[in-house]
Structure 1
């Protein structure tokens, strides 16, 4: 699919203590929001799906922010309201971020290609303009491997699920409370967090509680650098400008796969 010289693929598929156990339980269902069929307990859809921002038949406002003669932002309208927006953040002539709005003009979804390899790496879901879930491809394998969940009232991340082994099953459960995070792991492959595997880390990453003495804490997944340029709707907060300080950096050369733009 082409957006005035920008080629965008429409879809590509790939497929502490009791508190943390209670928070996640079996971890069933489809947290990605892809598809309607219920997945087995502990299994997540790893598909990366790009939602099309259709220009055909709609009004398109093209903005050249840096006056280089190339489009930097395209705002697509239907019925007099903006329904989606395509942005070239790094001015390389290719879109890096896609934003989608509800009937009230409030953001409902955001996609980003944060390493500029033509693959969507992060998909954010919003309710009433507040982020509630973020899906990440942290390994550049063209598949979702990390799911973050947020408190819609505060915007704080409250839990994370990870597929660290790449088999499509959740094997790490992270719970955030204040300045600490508790991490439970499935080491025996039964799809459940093992009670004796829970490690609690401080804000600086130091182990403050370890039910399995001597076990190494799992490395945090590298988050995407957040977008640095956008033109939010008046009722939409601007994207953050700094990444979380407790996560590691992005790995090197990307692999093939994912939702091509």
Structure 2
């Protein structure tokens, strides 16, 4: 995929409240955004809201003569295959995680040995259901196939290791019709969600849903619990009628009449 221009209807959603988002959606949805640094921007898609939904497998030559094969459970079948280049640097790795003889995961590495791509097959049909792309060891994009039609339908974007944006093709027509903005850095279950009901390629303002609005309203309506007094540090203040302190290596010092000190 290219990294030039991409619609960004929720780029600023994390800093907007729901009311502001409702006001801003039409203008934002119609704007194409240009990244000043294409190399750091998520891969993009063709004009409009169309997506390339093909699940593409990157080659990993597990039959290479220098491939290293490991049989973890002793059944005579490789459960891990490492494929290095001529210099011995690992290019990719093939994993059978459940020892059923079928490949579950392909992992690919950059020249520094950091993971750059991972293809995972969760339903054991021999095709990837999720493709995770990383840069400098950090995830920036997850592409997923969630409805078993062998086409990508969900694109999750990450910044600094945190999920910040999701775009979905909920009906399998190759057009993005759902936008998610994860607007609470402390809870990745919270998001503003908008859909495109009129099929114009833009989120419809009246459809915006705040997934955590009810929980936040309840929290705001609940009075804070009174704070318990802090425990008194042990020995800070002697209690009334407490026994006289014991001097080192001697008997207790008896109090003297009139407050005089013993000699």
Q: Into which bin does the TM-score normalised by the smaller protein fall? A: 0.5 to 0.7
92, 114, 120: which one pairs with 1:112? 120
What residue in structure 2 maps to residue 217 of structure 1?
Answer: none
31, 35, 44: which one pairs with 2:51? 44
- Please report how far the alpha carbon of residue 95 of structure 1 lies from its aligned counterpart in structure 2 after TM superposition: 0.6
- Please report how far the alpha carbon of residue 57 of structure 1 lies from its aligned counterpart in structure 2 after TM superposition: 4.9
Matches of 1:183 and 1:103, distance apart in 2: 38
- Please report how far the alpha carbon of residue 208 of structure 1 lies from its aligned counterpart in structure 2 after TM superposition: 6.5
1:82 paired to 2:108: no
What residue in structure 1 maps to residue 165 of structure 2?
Answer: 159
Kindly indicate whether the alpha-carbon contact (under 8 Å) linking 1:108 and 1:125 is maintained by their aligned counterparts in 2: yes
- Please report how far the alpha carbon of residue 59 of structure 1 lies from its aligned counterpart in structure 2 after TM superposition: 1.9
Relative to the length of structure 1, the TM-score reads 0.64
The gaps in structure 2 that reach 5 residues or longer are: 1-17, 35-40, 218-263
Q: 1:191 to 1:94 in 2, by over 3 A?
A: same
- Please report how far the alpha carbon of residue 172 of structure 1 lies from its aligned counterpart in structure 2 after TM superposition: 0.4
Matches of 2:176 and 2:60, distance apart in 1: 31
What residue in structure 2 maps to residue 195 of structure 1?
Answer: 205
Q: 1:150 to 1:17 in 2, by over 3 A?
A: farther
Bigger relative CO (Cα 8 Å, ≥ 6 apart): 1
Kindly indicate whether the alpha-carbon contact (under 8 Å) linking 1:201 and 1:208 is maintained by their aligned counterparts in 2: no
Relative to the length of structure 2, the TM-score reads 0.64
Query: Which has more radius of gyration?
Result: 2
Matches of 1:56 and 1:118, distance apart in 2: 17
Q: 1:119 to 1:207 in 2, by over 3 A?
A: farther
Kindly indicate whether the alpha-carbon contact (under 8 Å) linking 1:26 and 1:191 is maintained by their aligned counterparts in 2: no
Matches of 1:50 and 1:42, distance apart in 2: 23
Q: Secondary structure at the match of 1:196?
A: helix
Q: Count matched residues.
A: 186
- Please report how far the alpha carbon of residue 55 of structure 1 lies from its aligned counterpart in structure 2 after TM superposition: 3.7
What residue in structure 2 maps to residue 227 of structure 1?
Answer: none
What residue in structure 2 maps to residue 221 of structure 1?
Answer: none
The gaps in structure 1 that reach 5 residues or longer are: 1-15, 210-261
Q: What are the Cα deviations for residues 199-224 of structure 1, in whole angstroms up to 9, with x where unaligned? A: 0012xx95869xxxxxxxxxxxxxxx
Runs of 4+ deviating beyond 3 Å: 16-29, 31-34, 55-58, 205-209
Name the one with the larger helix percent.
2
Kindly indicate whether the alpha-carbon contact (under 8 Å) linking 2:51 and 2:174 is maintained by their aligned counterparts in 1: yes
Matches of 1:189 and 1:93, distance apart in 2: 44
Q: What are the Cα deviations for residues 86-106 of structure 1, in whole angstroms up to 9, with x where unaligned? A: 000111101110000011111
